[in-house]
Amino acid sequence: MLPTVPTDSGRAAEAYRSGLWTSGTLADSLRDAAQATPEREILVDGPVRLDCRSLHDRSAALAAAMLARIPVGSVVSFMLPNWHEAAIVYHAATLAGMVVNPILPSLRDHELGFILTDADVRMMFVPGEFGGHDYPAMLARVTATMAAPPQVVVVRGEPTPGQTDLASLSGADADGWPVLDPDAVRMILYTSGTTGRPKGVLHSHNSIHALIRQIGAHWLVEPGDRFLVASPIAHIGGSIYAFECPLLLGTAAVLMDRWDADRAVELLVGERCTHMAGATPFLEQLLLAARRRGTRLPDLKVFICGGASVSPSLIRSAADHFERAVVSRVYGSTEVPVTTIGAPDDPARAADTDGRPGIAAIRLAPHPAAPDGGEICARGPQMFLGYLHPEDDADAFDTDGWFRTGDLGRLDDGHLVVTGRAKDIIIRNGENIAPKEVEDVLIGHPDVAEVAVVGLPDPRTGERACAVIVTRARPAPGVAELAEFLTARGMARFKSPEQVVVWDSLPRNDAGKILKHQIRARLVDTDE
C-alpha cells in the first residue's frame, strides 16, 4: 500500500476555488458519460471502436474482478502498447479504487523487477507478444525471484502456468464501489532513472484533472475533437490523451501502437483527427510523410511538440505546411506536466520559445551555469504530490515548496526558453557551456539531421565538448565547419565542440528524448 501524502492546504484551497480541483473523480465522469452519451465513440484501436457505454461496462466488469482478488488501494500495473485494453485496465483500476502504474513495454527484466518490487504491485497486465518480445516469459522470470509477486494477466496471448488470461478475468457488478478521495494518489509513474535509480512520481485524481482542464482551455479543444495518440500511454502525455481527455473534454482517442509516419497521416486524414502531441521525431517525420502524400492535414488544429530539443525552423516549416494547425513547443515534466502551454496565439513565440506558463507558476533560481536566467522551478495545481519514497523529496523542492526541475532557462517577455539540463552543463577551462544552446543552433546546419552535445573527461581542460551528429551528407561536417557555422550565428567561440563523432542514429527513449547518459557512456568506453 502506498503512503499517505500530505497536501498543501493553501494550494488545495486555491485549486478548489478556481475549479481546477473538484470533489469528483474520473470514475464519476465515466459513469456520467455512459448514462448521458452511451453511444458516443470514445476510443478507436484499429477495427475496435468503443463507445462510452461499452467502455464503462467492460471496465466495470474488470473492476469487479480486481476487487475480488486484491485490496482497495493496491497498485495495478500495465505494460501494454497503445491498445484499447489498456484503457479498460486504466478505468477498471480507477473504479476499483486502485492506484494505476503504467510501465513502458520497452523495459526489460532488470527495470521491470525494480518497479514491481518498489511499488509493491499486486496485479500486472502484459501483452502476449509485442515487437517480437515474449512478455509472459519475462514476467515468469521476474516474478520467480520476488517474495510477493503480483498476479499476472496476459492480454492478446497465452499465459504461462500461474498467469491469467484477460478474457477469463471478469466479475459481476460490484455490490458497491469504493468511495474515492480526489486528493489521494491515483497514479504512479516512474522517472527514467538517467541520473540515478528511477523514482516513483505520485499524482492524484485532482492533479490530473487540473492538467486536463488546462489543455481544454488553451489548446483549442472542443467536444467531438479527436486526438491521434502515438506517444506511449505509459508516459503522462499519452495516458492523458487516451484515457482522461475523452471523458473530461468530450474528445475521442485514436490509438497507434507503433509509430509509422505514413500510417499517422492516413489516420489523421481518415479519422479526421484534430489534435496530436509528440516529440521532435514525430513532427519531423509527420511533416515529411504529409508532403509525400500531398496533404496539408486540413482537420489538424493543434500539434504540440515537446520532450526533446525542437528547432525553430521545424516549428515554422510545419506551421507553414499544415493548412490550419497551430504548432507550438511546450515544456513540462512528469512531476509538473505541461508547465508551459506553448504560444498558440503567437507563431513567432511558438517557434523561438517553449511557451508561456499556464496554470503553473515559474520562477528562476540563481544558477552559476545560467547567468542570464537560472534553474527552472515550478508549482501549480497539476504538480505531483511527491515521490513514492519521501527521502527523494528532500532535494526536489525548495523551502517554499517549488519543484526544482534541474533544467536551466530564461524568461523572454513572459515566455520560457529552456537552455539545458544543469547536470548536462559542460565546464571546460572554467567556462560553462550549455549543450542545448549549441544543439539548437547546430540542428539548423543543412547537413545535420540530429545532434547531441555531451561533455567528456579531458585531462587538460577538465571536460571537452563532443558533438555527436547524424548527418544528411557525406563527408560529414567536421570541427572547423561546425565552429564556423556557430560563430557566424553569433555564438561565442569557446562554446564550439572540439570533437565531432558521426553515428547512424542517436539513442532515444519511447517519448523521443535523446538518452545522453548512453551516449556519454559509449564515448567514454571508446576513449578508454
Of 321, 268, 344, nearest to 299 by C-alpha is 268
Residues 6 or more apart whose CB falls under 8 angstroms from that of 21 comprise: 12, 15, 182, 183, 206, 209, 210, 381
Check residue 98 and give its pLDDT: 98
What mean pLDDT comes out for the span 499-508? 94
pLDDT at residue number 309: 67
Cβ atoms < 10 Å from Cβ of 171 = 15
Residue 404: phi and psi, rounded to 5, are -90, 110
Residue 29's pLDDT band, with cuts at 50, 70 and 90, is very high
**Residue 526, pLDDT score:** 72
Give which of 202, 243, 232, 219 is closest to 95, Cα–Cα.
Answer: 243
In whole angstroms, what is the distance from residue 353 CA to residue 328 CA?
Answer: 9
User: Which residues, in sequence order, are bridge partners of residue 327?
Assistant: 303
What pLDDT sits at residue 174? 61
Q: What is the pLDDT of residue 22?
A: 97
Distance CA(500)–CA(30), nearest Å, equals 53
CA distance 405 to 370: 14
What's the rounded mean pLDDT across residues 109-134? 96
Contacts of 327 (CB under 8 A, 6+ apart): 283, 302, 303, 305, 315, 318, 319, 350
pLDDT at 173: 64
pLDDT at residue 421 in the model = 81
Does residue 195 have a pLDDT over 70? no
Predicted pLDDT at 370: 84
Q: What is the mean pLDDT of the chain?
A: 92
CA-CA distances (angstroms) from residue 391 to 51, 158, 486? 43, 40, 43
Residue 220 in this model has a pLDDT that exceeds 80:
yes
State the pLDDT at residue 171: 65
pLDDT tens-digit map of 398-421: 999 999 999 999 999 999 999 888
Out of 193-197, 262-266, 438-442, give the one with best mean pLDDT: 262-266
pLDDT at residue 192 tops 80: no
214 against 111, higher pLDDT = 214
pLDDT in tens, 142-166: 999 999 999 999 999 999 999 999 9
pLDDT at 403: 96
- Residue 436: predicted pLDDT: 86
pLDDT, greater one: 402 or 494: 402
55-108 confidence digits (pLDDT tens): 999 999 999 999 999 999 999 999 999 999 999 999 999 999 999 999 999 889
Q: CA–CA separation, 299 vs 297, rounded Å?
A: 6
Confidence check: pLDDT of 112 > 60? yes
Supply the pLDDT for residue 270: 98
Range in 11-25, 130-144, 415-429, 456-470 with the lowest mean pLDDT? 415-429
Mean pLDDT of the 297-311 span: 87
Q: Residue 307: pLDDT above 90?
A: no
pLDDT at 7 over 80: no
List Cβ neighbours of 478 (8 Å cut-off, separation of 6 or more).
500
Which pLDDT belongs to residue 93? 97
- Nearest C-alpha neighbor of 97 from the set 142, 134, 66, 57: 66
Per-residue model confidence (pLDDT) at position 306: 80
Going 487 to 492 to 494 to 500, the CA torsion angle's sign is negative
Please give the grid coordinates belonging to residue 311. Answer: 528547432
Please give the pLDDT value at position 502: 96
Domains assigned to the chain: 25-40+52-204 (3.40.50.12780), 425-527 (3.30.300.30)
Residue 527 has pLDDT above 70, yes or no: no
Residue 17, pLDDT score = 95
Most distant CA atoms of the chain, gap in Å: 73
Contact 112, 161 (CB under 8 A): no
Which pLDDT value is given to residue 193?
A: 59
% of the chain with per-residue pLDDT over 90: 78
- DSSP string covering 352-365: HS-B-BSSSEEEEE
Average pLDDT over residues 331-357: 93
- Above 70 in pLDDT, residue 265? yes
For residue 373, pLDDT beyond 70: yes
Percent of the chain with pLDDT over 70: 96
Checking if the pLDDT of 310 tops 80, the result is no
Residue 244 is classified by DSSP as: I
